[in-house]
Amino acid sequence: MKTTNLRNKPVDKRRLNAQDREQYNPREKAKTVAQARLKRGQLAWENKVPVGRQERRPGTGGFTAGIHTQQARVRNEGQKLQRSKQLRGS
């Protein structure tokens, strides 16, 4: 894979001062470059894959008959409750 804008050339430790030479860890650099490559690959894949879309409908989304059905159901339940109270006699 081509490493566009990702530099991972070896560092000549002879040119570093003692403190930098002590702190330098090439594994961290390699890990960071690998993560950058993974991220770049993931972004490229996301850009080429078509986005899944769901059709939008107004109201309830087409799964139910809407608010009128709900209101009728609640109305019927209220009438049933009222009838049962009348039948109890109290």
Domain boundaries, the chain: 13-48
Write the pLDDT tens digit of every residue in 2-11. 656 777 788 8
Most distant pair of Cα atoms in the chain: their distance:
102
Question: Rounded CA gap, 1 and 28, in Å?
Answer: 20
Write the pLDDT tens digit of every residue in 30-85. 888 889 989 999 999 989 988 777 666 666 555 667 788 889 999 999 999 999 99
